[in-house]
Structure 1
Amino acid sequence: MQSSIVYLDYNATTPVDDRVLKKMLPYFNSQYANPSSPHLFGMEILEKTEYAQQDLAHLIGCKPSELIYTSGATEAINLALKGIENENRRHIICASTEHMAVLDCCGFMEKNGYTVTYLPVTKDGIIDLHLLKDSLRVDTVLVCIMLVNNETGVIQDIESIANIVHQASALLLCDATQALGKIPIDINTLGIDLMPLSAHKFYGPKGIGALYVNTTVARLKPLLHGGQQQGGIRSGTLNVPGIIALGEAATIAQKEMIIETEQIRTLRDDLESALLKIENVFVNGYSAKRIHNTSNVCFPGVNAQQLILSLGNIAVSSGSACSAITNKPSHVLKAMGLQDHHSLSSIRFSLGRFTTAEEISYTTETVKKLVNKLRQ
């Protein structure tokens, strides 16, 4: 165990499942045709991408035609926010705990004439529905609230949020990047209008994602112009291996989600139970509804970056991988009311499909020893 990597950073990225890799490999060399080509070879590849699109659509309960492929969730978020321009509605509401991809896009929209309201959250990271309702205006075009927070695992009541948003005739953008493949998602039940997602968060490859668009209410302007692929909304030659992989990852998740959830939850609970025995340790968002694979744990008196480096072969993080290198207090934890010294003492443990009980046991024992040492 000491010589191998103990990977507990699944919210940053996941390994590609061998079954996904096997499915996508032929599309790099033997089945390489461009799906936009008019010949038989190209049409055969197009048919395979359409099957994969159906598999992904089945996972979230939408029509295949409502999916736009992108390079990942960040591009999907940019397309949703920047493509939804509305001259009559120039107000956006955004949760203060959103991923930086959403927050940075909202900042861009502010510079381009939009007004953005940043909603605070409770100490458990939950949106106050009354405050959301009071924040809506006649010119609100879009509300951005993620389904599962990438740093704490807190799950928002999206169905109730959608009802409030739609009463104001606004659209709901719900980043489901950390939820897809882990918990059931039905976009019709939840009432989501725009939903970004990414393959590498649920055992697919990096570089492929998608945006679900409720085409009955949302009209997007393209960010990329070119060959008119995907109805002209996102031009460019389709990433065939990525699309095949995304479809296969969705199929596996559909089949194995229930059993996998229970296995991972048991390991996560064992991890938390052991770590909470350390003096003064607490879990951020502990009393909120959280996804089964994530624990954000505060170790008062310990610098998180120092602890992460001391852990050596145990891979964890202090928050979002996109902002980990800044070594600044997490904007998510600050929004939840944590003081900077507690935020800088917090570590995210995120488990996944290949996590073992042996790894959890080894991790908890190692963390206990290091916390006591660093506190001294």
Structure 2
Amino acid sequence: MKFPVYLDNAATTPVDPRVAEKMSSCLTMDGVFGNAASKTHLYGWQAAEAVDIARNQVADLVGADSREIVFTSGATESDNLAVTGLAFRFQGGTRNVIVTSEIEHKAILDSCSFAERLGYQVVRIKPDREGRITPEMLREHLSDRVLLVTLMQANNEVGTVNDIKALAETAHEYGALFHSDCAQSAGKVSIDVREMPVDYLSFSGHKLYGPKGIGAFYIRNDAPRPEAVIHGGGHERGLRSGTLAVHQIAGMGLAYELARQSFAAENARVAALRERLRHGLCSLAGVSLNGAARDRLPGNLNLTFRGVDGEQFLLTLTKIAVSTGSACTSAAVEPSYVLRALGLSPADAHASIRFSLGRFTTEEEIDFTVDYVKTEYLKLKAKGDFWK
């Protein structure tokens, strides 16, 4: 095993070696290094073809038409394009309400806060204790004033999966548009836009064994186009200007293709490892699961180690790489806003650790982690450090 054992795949996944090789082939004179916007020579044509292939690969994973996929710098930009872009387009209109939840990614919550400064009212739904938003909960906040509903398919901290098909159908009953952040769920939870009446989706490259700095935005062909938030050159059908990063796009495309090919087998294997870890650690008194027991991401396990400060506990767990929550808020000393919204006390939220497994996690690593965490827990408990 390589130490520390990597169990923080929700923060980022390592690039699959096949993806790295593909990206490398798009960097040098011997490969496809050209500008995809160069229409007058072979180098540009080759680059444009690589982008087209990748666009189709991303589309195929979610059942979309390739013309509905826009490449961005990541899911954060895609989230901003959905919320801020639509807020700019419909500013001053009669639909001036945006509905979201209290446990969305900061890219959504901060974009919604910006929309408030533009004059929109933002409704933030409190989830149930498992981190779920149901259609019934959503319907309580819908009216003909709602412009957009934005609810993630799977929560990045606790892993609970929402039924975005039912949520989108509910939003459409009131004429509202529907967006979902699928950065964590793509390739791990079934997504088929031919069956889900979603209008917009956000995707990430580095959460699915692709590179950082690349993402995608799905916009249904007949959905209103958001206002662009990046201008200059009119790339990506005017929705996202900037020279296309061919190597990153090609990498993301292949990563999504590999995920599509191995979808069932890989997710079943990872889920089995997660359950092995859960049963091993939840046998300890004082350890409990956060999020849904069933409807959750295959690789996500968020546990509360009651009576211990999570950050202090992490300092003792030097042989594994885990986190206390979202990497996007790791600099904060406050307890996780997601866990607090689920009803955990500040002490219990501080005492929670997220284990996130992935493609390269092995059974040997899981067995080691169970024994190691148990040993450290009992050792510290015997010293009384957990119960200050």
Alignment of 1:311-326 (within 5 A): 311-326=317-332
Q: 1:23 — aligned with what? A: 22
CA contact (8 A) 1:302 1:371 kept: no
Aligned residue for 1:27, secondary structure, equals coil
TM-score, with structure 2 as normaliser: 0.94
1:60 corresponds to 2:66: no
Distance 2:148 2:194 in 1: 18
Deviations for 1:213-252, whole angstroms, at most 9, x for unmatched residues?
Answer: 1130221111111111111111110010011001100110
Partner AA of 1:279 in structure 2: A
Aligned to 1:74: 76
Amino acid at match of 1:314: I
Query: Secondary structure in 2 aligned to 1:327?
Result: coil
Q: 1:338 is matched with which residue?
A: 344
| 1:221 maps to 2:227 | yes
2:35 — aligned with what?
A: 34
1:251-262 → structure 2 map (5 Å cutoff): 251-262=257-268
Q: Is the 8 A contact 1:198 1:208 kept in 2?
A: yes
CA distance in 2: counterparts of 1:14 and 1:330, whole angstroms: 22
Identity %: 40
**Cα offset for 1:288?**
5.0
Q: Runs of 5+ in structure 2 lacking a partner?
A: none
Q: Which TM-score applies when normalising by structure 1?
A: 0.97
Q: Distance in 1 between matches of 2:273 and 2:241?
A: 43
Provide the secondary structure at the position in 1 that maps to 2:261: helix
Q: Secondary structure at the match of 2:140?
A: helix
Aligned match of 2:272? 266
Match of 2:12 in 1: 13
**Number of equivalent positions:** 375
- In structure 2, the residue matched to 1:368 is 374
SS in 2 for 1:174: strand
Deviations 1:178-204 (A, max 9, x none): 011112211232221111111000000
| Cα distance in structure 1, aligned partners of 2:380 and 2:122 | 42
AA aligned to 2:308 is V
The farther-off stretch of 198-207 and 227-236 is: 227-236
Partner of residue 188 from structure 2, selected from 157, 182, 191: 182
| Matched residue SS, 1:220 | coil
1:199 is aligned to 2:199 = no
Q: Which amino acid aligns with 2:118?
A: N
Matches of residues 95-244 of structure 1 in structure 2 within 5 Å?
Answer: 95-244=101-250
Q: 2: distance between equivalents of 1:346 and 1:241?
A: 38
1:270-299 deviations in whole A, cap 9, x for unaligned?
Answer: 100010111121001244511111010000
Secondary structure of the corresponding residue to residue 343 of structure 2: coil
Uncovered stretches (5+) of structure 1, i.e. residues with no partner: none
Shift in Å at residue 371 of structure 1?
A: 1.4
Counterpart of 2:318, as a letter, is G
1:142-183 Cα deviation digits (max 9, x unpaired) = 001100100011000111111110011111110000011112
Q: Which of 76, 83, 94 is the equivalent residue of 2:100? A: 94
**SS of 1:34 mapped into structure 2:** coil
Distance 1:297 1:46 in 2: 46
Q: Given residue 45 of structure 1, which amino acid in structure 2 is its aligned partner?
A: A
What does the per-residue CA deviation read over 1:316-359, in whole Å, with 9 as the maximum and x for residues that have no partner? 00010011121211111111111111100000000000001111
Deviation at 1:52, TM superposition (A): 1.2
Whole-angstrom distance in 2 between the partners of 1:98 and 1:132: 14
Mapped partners of 2:56, 2:148: distance in 1:
27
- Partner deviation per Cα, 1:53-85 (whole Å, 9 max, x = no partner): 111111111111111111101011111111113
Amino acid at match of 1:201: K
Give the whole-Å Cα distance in 2 for the aligned partners of 1:123 and 1:14: 28
- In the alignment, the residues of structure 1 paired with residue 281 and residue 196 of structure 2 have an alpha-carbon distance, to the nearest angstrom, of 34
Q: Following superposition, which runs of at least 4 residues in structure 1 exceed 6 angstroms of deviation?
A: none
Counterpart contact for 1:37–1:43, Cα < 8 Å: yes
Paired residues of 1:152 and 1:285 also in contact (CA < 8 A): yes
Distance 1:310 1:190 in 2: 45
1:349 to 331, 355, 368: 355
Q: Secondary structure at the match of 1:81?
A: helix
SS at the partner of 1:29? Answer: coil
Give the Cα separation in 2 of the matches to 1:213 and 1:70.
12
Task: Give the distance between the partners of 1:336 and 1:272, measured in 2 at CA.
Answer: 20
Distance 2:207 2:172 in 1: 29
What code does the residue aligned with 1:178 have?
Answer: Q
Q: Which moved more, 1:220-229 or 1:281-290?
A: 281-290
